[in-house]
Amino acid sequence: MAITKKEIKFGCPYTAKKLKAEVIQTKDKIQILDPSKIMIPCHDSHRLSIRVEKSASKSDIRQAIVEKSQKHFDEKVAEFKKLPNTKAIWSDVHKDYMSWFNKRLNTRRHTVSTRDTYERNGRIHVYDTALGTAPIGNIDEIDLINYYDDLHEKFLMDGLGADLFLHVTTVVKKVFEHAITKRFIADNPYSQRVKDKANDIRKQLEEEDVSVATDIDVPMVINFVDFIREKSKADKQYIDLANYMLITFHLATRSAETSGIYLDDIDFENKEIHIQRQTFKQYGSNYTDSTKEVVTKTLKTKAGNRVIPLSDDLINLFKKIDIDYREGILIPDAQGNKPLWQYPTGVPSVFRGKLRTFLRNYGAEFKARFGKVYNHLFHALRHAGISTWLRAGIDLHRVMKMAGHSNIQTTVNTYGHQAKANDYFNMSDLIKGVKSLTSDLLSNKRQLQE
């Protein structure tokens, strides 16, 4: 059978880039090797097989490539949009991914090595710990790591949090994963290397006590909450920040949910709190615009509307705030609501700035004492709180409800490795092992207001 090899230029329908492809033509079948040498999502694999007439011209081949590539991609998009919690964020993921992909396509450089040879043949599979245990694509490992780091940072800085980030990575995972079949993985010369690496990562995470979802060092987060509590005794400007972080940690709420708590949400008799709204500043992409309004909205999902048991520490803190309202130290807002904090420029933005100031003033001391730099944002408190619940043996289904997850799979994938079998728990007993606010700190808050 005669085999003809030639090179053809074509425009990728996904990237709009003009690319060169190596075309292998047999009797009535053409295989196009992935021209970019990395995984292009519109392709079903690194070899895209199409059928054309034997006398097909280059323009005919080019059109066939575009049509089949687009068909594959459209089918995958349709699948993605059926997934839960991905419909609303698909356009943002698409835009972010394309921006990154185009940049990598323009700047990528290959070195001559055995590894590079495998890359050219579409044989590299890499691992990303945030996505579980399945290989997720044929792409250079450092590129993928950089992409996820950048995307994760963007989501945290925008106040979107790690839960939404996990949904995003689920979509991106599908973009990479659809090119991989069991047969292809079986032929992958790096299969065993990937498995060994995955086992090493899991072992390392277990030994280092790290939250799988976002590589959060849970003990360090707990130590930091206590460290702020300690420093706020003398430096009273940080008392509200200490309270804010303590509440977020104990309730494992998202930062906007903590900001949206009203005093009327608290059931003092039953020691419960109803999480039902979020308060945030609508920055968009411009963090320097101080004129953006602060908005309070209901939660996006039904599961987010939930009831969480309260520890004695939080009950005492909320009672102090209740007394302040009764005595006129704090005044309800125009609608008669009693928020825990009253900052006209927005609670999340105020505390984000306070945290940065605190780290500038005390970050070196924290590092000297605990041996690490604290580099987490408020969402780390949520992960540390949920991890603490599971380590105490709370049932996964109950944790799912208290965390506001829409399905048990989110809880299992993110925190399942920390779960222990135990259905009974007492929130106060659970928190006893965690250093938290003391009566001294509570009195400091009152002294500051007076």
The string of pLDDT tens digits covering residues 98-131 is: 454 444 434 333 332 333 322 332 222 222 333 3
Q: Is the pLDDT of residue 343 over 60?
A: yes
Q: What is the 3-state secondary structure (H, E, C) of the chain?
A: CCCEEEEEEEECCCCCCEEEEEEEECCCEEEEECCCCCCCCCCCCCEEEEECCCCCCHHHHHHHHHHHHHHHHHHHHHHHHHCCCCCCCHHHHHHHHHHHHHHHHHHCCCCCCHHHHHHHCCCCCCCCHHHCCCCCCCCCHHHHHHHHHHHHHHHHHCCCHHHHHHHHHHHHHHHHHCCCCHHHHHCCCCHHHHHHHHHHHHHHHHHHCEECCCCEEHHHHHHHHHHHHHHHHHCHHHHHHHHHHHHHHHHCCCHHHHHCCEHHHEECCCCEEEECEEEEECCCCCCCCCCCCEEEEECCCCCCCEEEECCHHHHHHHHHHHHHHHCCCCCCCCCCCCECCCCCCCHHHHHHHHHHHHHHHHHHHHHHHHCCCCCCCCHHHHHHHHHHHHHCCCCHHHHHHHHCCCCHHHHHHHHHHHCCCCCCCCHHHHHHCCCCCCHHHHHHHHHHHC
Does 252 have pLDDT greater than 60? yes
How sure is the predictor about 44, in pLDDT bands with cuts at 50, 70 and 90?
very low
In the predicted structure, residue 331 carries a pLDDT above the cut 80: yes
In this predicted structure, what is the pLDDT of residue 366?
A: 92
Q: CA nearest 266: which of 195, 185, 325, 178?
A: 325
Q: What is the pLDDT of residue 41?
A: 36
pLDDT at 328: 86
The C-alpha torsion from 161 through 165 and 167 to 172, rounded to 10°, is 170
Assess contact for 382 and 161: CB atoms under 8 A: yes
Structure tokens at 216: 């959060």
Sign for the pseudo-dihedral over CA of 256, 260, 263, 265: negative
Is the pLDDT at 204 greater than 80? The verdict is: no
* Confidence at residue 53, expressed as pLDDT on a 0 to 100 scale: 57
pLDDT of 134 over the 80 cut: no
- pLDDT tens for 266-306 read 999 999 999 999 887 665 444 444 556 777 888 878 888 99
Please write the tens of the pLDDT for every residue from 373-388. Answer: 887 778 888 888 888 8
Residue 106 to residue 102: CA distance in whole angstroms: 6
The token pair at 62 is: 């080019």
Do the Cβ atoms of 266 and 321 come closer than 8 Å? no
Tell me how far CA of residue 294 lies from CA of 23, 258, 345, 348, in angstroms.
56, 14, 7, 9
Range from 86-95, 213-222, 248-257, 382-391 carrying the lowest mean pLDDT? 86-95
Model pTM greater than 0.85?
no
Q: What is the pLDDT, as a whole number, of residue 268?
A: 92
pLDDT beyond 50 at 49: yes
Q: Percent of the chain scored above 70 by pLDDT?
A: 39
- Which CATH number does 216-449 carry? 1.10.443.10
- Give the domain ranges of the chain: 4-81, 83-208, 216-449
| Residue-level pLDDT at 348 | 55
**Mean pLDDT rounded to a whole number for the chain:** 62
Q: What is the pLDDT of residues 319-329, one digit of tens each?
A: 999 998 888 88
